Structure 1
Amino acid sequence: MAGKYVVVDVETTGNSYVKGSRVIQISAVTVENSRITDQYTSFVNPEVPIPSFIKELTGIGEEEVAEAPRFGEIAGVIHSILDGAIFVAHNVKFDRSFIAGELEDAGFANPIEKTLDTVELANILLPKANSYKLEELSDQMELEHITPHQADSDALATAELLLMLLEKAKNLPMATLEKLCELSKNLNSSMFSFFESVKKEKESRLESLPEGLESFRGIVLKNKQMPAGEAPIRSLDYPKGIDDKVKLLQPLFKEFESRNGQYEMMDTVYQSFRTSTHSVIEAGTGIGKTIAYLLPSVYFSVGRQEKVIISTYTIQLQHQILEKEIKILKDAVPFSYRTALIKGREHYINMLKFEQTLKEPDSSYDETITKMKILIWLLQTETGDMDELNLSSGGKLYWKRICNDGSFVDRNNDPWTSRDFYLHSKNLAESADIIITNHSMLVADLEHPVLPKSHFIVIDEAHHLEKSVRTKLGRKLDYNHIKFLLGKLGTTEKKKRFYTLERYTAKASAVPSVHSFAVDHAIQNIEAETDDLFTLLSQMLKRTRPNKGKNRRAKLRVSDQIRSGGSWQKVMMCAERFLDFHKLISQGIQERLMLIKKSQASLSPAELAFLEEMAGFHGEWTEMGLQVKHLLSQSENSDVMWLESDQKCMANRTSVHRQPLNINCFLSERLFKEHKSVVLTSASLTVNNSFKFFSEEIGIHSFDRIETRFESPFPYEKQVKLLVPTDLPEINSVPMEEYAESIACHLIAVANAAEGRMLVLFTSHEMLRKTHELLYDSNELRDFVLLAHGVSSGSRSRLVKSFRHFQKAILLGTNSFWEGIDIPGEDLSCLVVVRLPFSPIDDPVTAAKLEYVQAGGKNPFSAYSLPEAIIQFKQGFGRLIRKKTDRGVFFVFDQRVITSAYGKAFLKSIPSIKLEKGPLDHLIPSVESWLDKK
């Protein structure tokens, strides 16, 4: 790496120099000849107050900077260090803006000419990294990073990261480097110089590709491996006794705990498969249910030569099973077995399309970065699965162009067929014993089979199955998606893909019946009809459901009464015009694709790639038309339809939804009737110790089945105390603002007693936002880090990581935070449920469900609302205790849990623990003593 690099990090009082934020610490590490040669560090007196959040984050307060020099006093030193060097930082714009601003104010010219951003470089060279934050990269790459968020440690870690990335770049194949150099010319940094210098250094040496890599059509990628065929095992004895199971599992865990519930669950799953019987199993927290269903599945699959499908709720859980529990069992069982993870084809890269996009000039920044990181990823991946990649939002849009979503090109004409990742995943699945998929893919397979045939299925997180089926079988239409598809067609003649398609049609000497002028006219008109359609829908929503709260998301169920009104008739007329233009465009594209397909053997790879992309687009376009037709057609009694928008009810933020109300018949016919044994398991399936509600919801109630529960092995009575304050008002008896103020006051008191480590679960985004605003404005929690879903930036997983990072943290969450969050140990010691999790009765699906239940002669509250809320309540409670050594307090702010007749049903749904009730000031000492905070 030629030249001198100076790696800089600054800690500041805020995010913007021009808005008055100033440097409080600076560190500059000099890197020359691929090694660190010097480091300069100094605190800086900013002459402005340091916010409490910055003190908590960095550990730097007024005491540390009181005797430190002002920046002007060290500006000369900084200028001389940076002069003539390439300026490197992790998020270079931030550090550069502060250094340039401080130097200019001190009377120095800005010496920074060339920059290099290690965020950008890591994005390219570490395509599979979970995060590009410095602290998390340091953990992943095992770099020394002693005191994160202090400039000396951050700068040194960034310098070590730079050297590690340089080493990775040096080991890249020459063909990959050449493509990176070509692409990096589009980037606004010294990225081109970086890769060019590495390439020139390698040019002086002869190199051969490392083992396991191959170069094909100028792209270097990893060889795919098919597992070797093995002779079937004739006899395989399942470990029936406890001693046999302990002997298998004990060597695999440092802190092994023998769990009778886990062993009993193993036997139940094996019996279910062996006798071709369905089973429903509730496994309490700590049972170890994943191993409990995997071990018998593996023994049964290999011993009986029968594939077993494991379905999880999310793709993340798919990977967790493959990378954690499957690996554990491979070391345990005395035989080998094969596993395959399979997803929808859009998850896999289409190499023909990717190859051709590399040749496109003038790519956007996000596209360029994504192309570069995919080139690196192809050296590592055997799956071609996009979920291995950490993509930006712009990168995900680019992926839609290059994913395996079409089938226009015949395999014989696609030069990449022999290296197709989707076909490879299907081949692996065909040869596998255990196939891991997700609920969405499983439901899709029930309609249109793609997965290898199997009569034996395990469905984990089965309490989500009903929702997964409704979502997958349902339809959604939104303005932005239609506009995105129209954008793919293009709005100018120069960019219109339809005109490119027309040129290829002419080249094939074919004459389509739908003239291009007619298609062009339809494209222009359908844009106007789209605007009109969603304006009508949003106006109807705003008129019928005036906004009740600043942050409320409006929903309107489309009832028969609404359908008979004049406003809906206008919507239908507009939709009909839309569909007329849509049909003409669809015919024009399809006809041309079919005409060209006949002569595709004579087309170039670039032409084939474009046509494959157009075929994928046509599939999306056709599906969108079906959505409009289905969503706006006469409603079936079994469906529920609604409009949804944000508080402003703007046309481009309005969507139309339609879902089947009940999916039990679908699952009964397609899943339980067609398969010999389906095992359904979750930590939350029963209500009042009965599976009745769950079984009827998913349609298994009419089948013979095993039903069993395995209690958690945790000693909850020694780990958790349940506290119910009695001095909070009923939500319906006071204005929402007053109720939120009461909640905020109680949270402040509880947070101080528990010293943070507190997760607060809401049932309403509006209530969460209002409470967060009050907590923030009160200044009573200024020493705490306050995080809120939908308010603080970042995904759910990012917020959870931030919560675990800070000692005194409070996390406010809604729906998705009630489950799937694993925060063991002292990171979470206080859980607060603000309200019992009843679904709002004005939610379209809930309202339709309640009407349906009532029409069947049942009480809608006791037959639907209460059981659904209890299952959610159980999931929420399960966030607190994740290990045998955990300890915490569980607050329920909703007094209905002790005052209502149905409150006992909630308390019976969780383990038996000590309950204390009374005014909050009477409960606070219990919090402090239980958590040992005195």
Structure 2
Amino acid sequence: MMIKEKYVVVDLETTGTQFKSGDQIIQFAAVVIEGQQITDKYNFLINPQKELSSKIAELTGLTNAQLEQQPGFAHFAHQIQAVLDGAVFVAHNVNFDLPFLQSELQAAGINYVPQAAIDTVELAQILLPEAPSFKLADLTSYLNIQHLNPHQADSDALVTAQLFLYLQQQLLHLPQPTLQLLKYFTHSLIRQTGDFVELMIDQACKNPSKLPDYLINIQGLVFKKPQTVVNSTPMNSKYPVTTAKKSTIFNQTITCRPQQMKMMNFIQRKVSQQTPLALVDAPTGMGKTLGYLFPLSYYLDQGKQVIIATSTKLLQQQLIQESLPLLERLRQRQYSATIINSAHNYLDLDNFYQVLRHNFGHRQTDLVKMRIIVWLTQTQTGELSELNLTNYQSDFFKLIVSNGHRQSGLFYEYDFWRRRWQNALQSDILITNHAYLLDNLDTKLWDNKRVLLIDEANNILQQSLKPQAHLIFRTLKDALKKISDILYQQRVTIRNFFNQTRFNSWTHDDLLALDADFNTAKQRLEFLEADLLSNYLKKQIPLSKRKSEMVLTLSSEQLHHRTVKSLNKLAQDLQAILARLTKLLQLYEVTKTNSLLTIEQIIYQLKIQYQVLWQQEHQLEQVLAGLSVWQPDTGLMVMMQDYSNWDSISLATQMFNQNTIVTKLQEKFRTTIFIGAALQYHHSFRNFCQQLGIKEKLPKKDYLILKRDYDLNQQLQVYLPRDVANPRNNPEFDNYLAHSIARLLTNTTCKALIMFNSLATLQTAYQYLISTKISDQREILAQGITGSNQRIKKRFYLNPTAILLAANSFGEGLNLSAGELKLLVITRLPFEAPSNPLVQAKNNYWRQQGFNPFQVESLPTAVRRLKQEVGRLIRSPSDQGIIVILDDRIASTKYGERMYHELELPPYNNQLAISEIALQINMLLRTNF
């Protein structure tokens, strides 16, 4: 293959995806590239000699009438052969287009084998590592390539050719060390894509350019130099209390909204007065982010720092990318901000470098490595979520993520987690998430920062429905066994490798010592399982209730001393094993220069299991930490999934309210402000404070309840179908939902958000929808199925006709659509599943406190979630939308009526069937209400 080859970029439209089952080509398009220029285009419509399905007709825009007038494939076969002859074959998903075309040509008597075939999907995955999607339509949108008719072969072939030329330039302009590193993995790319990449690399390296000043090269790994973050320069500034003074500053950039102005003044007053605790309930769409950022900026002007804790990474990105630039435009000055989350969100450069050249034949792992190599030249944060991958749980990622404890290494000076930490110390605004804040309250990171603002604070209540620590016996046993098996089965190879070095550092005695540790830990685990089963589960759970998962919540008085002692001893056993394994892995790093592939594979597998073992030991430490400072509002749960399997036992700790946390927050910060769109219940913060464990009544001057600045009656239509099914004890409810959603979406093109309680129900609906013609007309996005949350959010934001299926926690507090969202379907009232062990434990806690769990916990929590769901639709005075509720309990139960009353929405229409509502939706959208 030569750089100046003739390339033919091909796209096909077909009657289906299975040529072996008789599917045929209905459109062939090709774009010829010579000398980096598009020189010719071809487009043939082809008669498949049969009717098109409605699905294919919808997808391609081609009609049977158009194709009936065209000849069959055999008529075009020799013309197509002439176009392809002597050219390199290029396609977006080449393993679809090429075999399909070869099959048709073969049937026409032509044996076509291209001299080379290149896939632009894999090229894009490597060279555009942060792209939210690699579908052709999404890539063209991402790169601003004009794409007139997606899913028509002539249009698709043209934009694929433009994409191919763009990707070539991206490749040629990468730093030479990066190119050389990529070359190591090109063998893993499909067909001749790797050969092409090698060819381009060789060309680029003939004329190497100087490394740009913003990049640094360490041992062939090229990445961005750290950016130093500093506080803004202190200045004298006076907060504008009156609306008139604010208007002068806003200067028509934004409109002064009364409720937002009220919130600004409240925040400024609480910070100035150093109020220990304040609460704000601010409805969605009223601009609450600017409502707190603007007054906080005057506090920052004093040279102070603030912490903002949010519930999701998406909200963090919104703060940095949208809200902060708006603040800076209003204030005519810059403020520094740093996002910091748990260490495992970041790439560890040393870990990545150590496993980089390990080659175990995993093609997808090699592709991810190539993406990361290119991404390092682009990322400033090292946060792996920027890659928009669907899975970060593979063994490979266990090895390359940071654990937050690196003290040395080749890349220590440039360690991403260390960079984050240093920048966070210097930033005006430190942005984190709730979980990291609450799990690390004692860290020095928060020192000298006196103001904490917790956004979407209703999410804090949900911490009590999450395990604080979770020790899984099966996972721990598996890790111990795998490590023991590896070391025993490969003992000769390991010993010989280390004996060949000058250290002679791993002997038979080391193996025996580890084996003794394994046996001790195994015996300890078996004793604990027997103890938990015999002395707790059997004694307190009757035989009739042992057929399903068992959950037992224990208080400190119910725990025997021997159980706690055994847990402590197990922690010591695991620490001893980890210490010996650490020594072995460190010795390997010192002596690995001439190691063989066999020893590399052994160490690779050991490192994976080491991470699993370390995580379980860490969970055990957290369990013990909870036990050592036992509080009446904290519980230890013993869970057993299968009574016949001892290894199905696990331990979890659960904090039933956050009183201890709130106390710590008040000790740590002078002012803590909770803000959310769903804090109040019954026009009061009483329930919110009760769930947090705050017993003292909050002074009226320290809380604020805001109202919408506009009337929803003219902007919103709400429907409850008269033929809606009852979800309770209805085994067919998931199927009913799927069909109902399809009926609502048929013949509509508006952006739609479908909210679910259960990911399993969501998956059922998704599988049904993609089998209908709706999937041919519109992009269907589904949480946990079609990509990461960030990737889905970006695609939903960009596509005006997209459908998003999401759980009730997705995109909390985010403006997902910039006013384009028109339809919200709530599939079920958002109650927690009563079978959830954490819910059961929490309910038991409330009963012990003398309260009704449904009234104190379940109902208020569902109301808050429902408010969040509804708040995603109408976010400004100009928005309009339609809500459909597919749960009859909103009308058939007293608590449902109460929930709807809390939402403060217009009265719902329950006179129409689902099919009639679908027609009504179309009419409303056509007339703009």
Fold match (TM-score > 0.5): yes
Give the superposition deviation at 1:867: 1.0
Aligned positions of 1:48-67 closer than 5 A: 48-67=50-69
Aligned to 1:425: 420
Superimposed CA distance per residue, residues 305-333 of structure 1 (whole angstroms, 9 cap, x where no aligned partner): 22101111112221221122112222221
SS of 1:382's equivalent in the other structure is: coil
Q: Distance in 1 between matches of 2:373 and 2:550?
A: 46
Aligned positions of 1:548-563 closer than 5 A: 556-558=550-552
Superimposed CA distance per residue, residues 726-765 of structure 1 (whole angstroms, 9 cap, x where no aligned partner): 4445445x7533x667667765665569677554444355
Preserved CA contact (<8 Å) 1:479 1:653: yes
Corresponding letter in the other structure for 2:249 = L
Instruction: Indicate how the Cα distance of structure 1 residues 224 and 488 shifts in structure 2: closer, same or farther if over 3 A, else same.
Output: farther
SS of 1:387's equivalent in the other structure is: helix
Aligned to 2:214: 212
Aligned to 1:249: 250
Preserved CA contact (<8 Å) 1:138 1:145: yes
Give the superposition deviation at 1:164: 0.9
Corresponding letter in the other structure for 1:477 = I
Give the superposition deviation at 1:58: 2.6
SS of 1:666's equivalent in the other structure is: helix
Preserved CA contact (<8 Å) 2:479 2:612: no
Q: TM-score normalised to the size of structure 2?
A: 0.84
Structure 1 residue 625 corresponds to structure 2 residue 617: yes
Corresponding letter in the other structure for 2:152 = Q
Aligned to 1:314: 312
Give the superposition deviation at 1:457: 0.8
Superimposed CA distance per residue, residues 875-912 of structure 1 (whole angstroms, 9 cap, x where no aligned partner): 22223323433323323344443343334422222234
Preserved CA contact (<8 Å) 1:456 1:675: yes
Preserved CA contact (<8 Å) 1:818 1:876: no
Superimposed CA distance per residue, residues 388-444 of structure 1 (whole angstroms, 9 cap, x where no aligned partner): 334463796433323332646x54xx3433333322222211211111111121112
Superimposed CA distance per residue, residues 268-291 of structure 1 (whole angstroms, 9 cap, x where no aligned partner): 112221111122111112211111
Instruction: Indicate how the Cα distance of structure 1 residues 908 and 921 shifts in structure 2: closer, same or farther if over 3 A, else same.
Output: closer
Q: Quick check: 661-670 or 307-316, which moved more?
A: 661-670
Structure 1 residue corresponding to 2:683, chosen from 679, 689, 692: 689
Q: Distance in 2 between matches of 1:613 and 1:492?
A: 10
Structure 1 residue corresponding to 2:367, chosen from 356, 361, 369: 369
Corresponding letter in the other structure for 2:668 = E
Aligned to 1:590: 579
Percent of residue pairs bearing the same amino acid type: 26
Superimposed CA distance per residue, residues 473-499 of structure 1 (whole angstroms, 9 cap, x where no aligned partner): 232538568757876787377878994
Q: Distance in 1 between matches of 2:272 and 2:184?
A: 59
Instruction: Indicate how the Cα distance of structure 1 residues 20 and 299 shifts in structure 2: closer, same or farther if over 3 A, else same.
Output: farther
Unaligned runs of 5+ in 1: 548-553
Backbone CA RMSD of aligned residues: 4.8
Corresponding letter in the other structure for 1:674 = K
Aligned to 2:704: 708
Instruction: Indicate how the Cα distance of structure 1 residues 392 and 816 shifts in structure 2: closer, same or farther if over 3 A, else same.
Output: closer
Preserved CA contact (<8 Å) 2:349 2:400: yes
Instruction: Indicate how the Cα distance of structure 1 residues 650 and 161 shifts in structure 2: closer, same or farther if over 3 A, else same.
Output: farther
Give the superposition deviation at 1:664: 1.7
Instruction: Indicate how the Cα distance of structure 1 residues 927 and 96 shifts in structure 2: closer, same or farther if over 3 A, else same.
Output: closer
Q: Distance in 2 between matches of 1:653 and 1:768?
A: 31
Give the superposition deviation at 1:159: 0.9
Preserved CA contact (<8 Å) 2:132 2:794: no
Structure 1 residue 669 corresponds to structure 2 residue 672: no
Aligned positions of 1:31-42 closer than 5 A: 31-42=33-44
SS of 1:872's equivalent in the other structure is: helix
Aligned to 1:699: 693
Aligned to 1:272: 270
Corresponding letter in the other structure for 2:291 = A
SS of 1:736's equivalent in the other structure is: coil
Preserved CA contact (<8 Å) 1:824 1:881: no
Preserved CA contact (<8 Å) 1:367 1:394: no
Aligned positions of 1:305-344 closer than 5 A: 305-344=303-342
Aligned to 1:288: 287
Q: Distance in 1 between matches of 2:518 and 2:269?
A: 59
Corresponding letter in the other structure for 1:431 = Q
Aligned positions of 1:435-584 closer than 5 A: 435-468=430-463, 471=466, 473-475=468-470, 477=472, 483=478, 491=486, 499=494, 503=498, 508=503, 515-520=510-515, 556-558=550-552
Aligned positions of 1:170-185 closer than 5 A: 170-185=172-187
Aligned length: 904
Q: Distance in 2 between matches of 1:800 and 1:168?
A: 26
Q: Quick check: 94-103 or 190-199, which moved more?
A: 190-199
Give the superposition deviation at 1:163: 0.8
Unaligned runs of 5+ in 2: none
Corresponding letter in the other structure for 1:867 = P
Q: Quick check: 864-873 or 327-336, which moved more?
A: 327-336
Aligned to 1:863: 856
Q: Distance in 2 between matches of 1:922 and 1:316?
A: 35
Q: Quick check: 313-322 or 814-823, which moved more?
A: 814-823
Instruction: Indicate how the Cα distance of structure 1 residues 927 and 595 shifts in structure 2: closer, same or farther if over 3 A, else same.
Output: closer
SS of 2:379's equivalent in the other structure is: coil
Corresponding letter in the other structure for 1:419 = Y
Preserved CA contact (<8 Å) 1:401 1:613: no
Instruction: Indicate how the Cα distance of structure 1 residues 397 and 931 shifts in structure 2: closer, same or farther if over 3 A, else same.
Output: same
Superimposed CA distance per residue, residues 716-735 of structure 1 (whole angstroms, 9 cap, x where no aligned partner): 11011233344445445x75
Give the superposition deviation at 1:160: 0.8
Corresponding letter in the other structure for 2:16 = G
Preserved CA contact (<8 Å) 1:31 1:38: yes
Aligned to 1:69: 71
Corresponding letter in the other structure for 1:699 = G
Corresponding letter in the other structure for 1:297 = L
Q: Distance in 2 between matches of 1:856 and 1:315?
A: 35
Aligned to 1:140: 142
Structure 1 residue corresponding to 2:224, chosen from 222, 225, 228: 222
SS of 2:903's equivalent in the other structure is: coil
Structure 2 residue corresponding to 1:163, chosen from 157, 162, 165: 165
Aligned to 2:197: 195
Instruction: Indicate how the Cα distance of structure 1 residues 481 and 761 shifts in structure 2: closer, same or farther if over 3 A, else same.
Output: farther
SS of 2:113's equivalent in the other structure is: coil
Q: Distance in 2 between matches of 1:438 and 1:666?
A: 19
Aligned to 1:551: none
Q: Distance in 2 between matches of 1:382 and 1:243?
A: 40
Aligned positions of 1:626-775 closer than 5 A: 627=619, 638-639=634-635, 641=637, 643=639, 656=650, 658-702=652-696, 704=698, 706-728=702-724, 730-732=726-728, 735-737=730-732, 750-751=744-745, 758-764=752-758
Preserved CA contact (<8 Å) 2:517 2:576: no
Preserved CA contact (<8 Å) 1:479 1:654: yes
Aligned to 1:17: 19
SS of 1:238's equivalent in the other structure is: coil
Q: Distance in 2 between matches of 1:265 and 1:673?
A: 25
Q: Quick check: 92-101 or 586-595, which moved more?
A: 586-595
Instruction: Indicate how the Cα distance of structure 1 residues 210 and 864 shifts in structure 2: closer, same or farther if over 3 A, else same.
Output: closer
Aligned to 2:906: 913
Aligned positions of 1:228-247 closer than 5 A: 231-233=233-235, 235-247=236-248
Instruction: Indicate how the Cα distance of structure 1 residues 578 and 904 shifts in structure 2: closer, same or farther if over 3 A, else same.
Output: closer
Q: TM-score normalised to the size of structure 1?
A: 0.83
Aligned to 1:838: 831
Q: Distance in 1 between matches of 2:611 and 2:742?
A: 53
Q: Distance in 2 between matches of 1:749 and 1:349?
A: 45
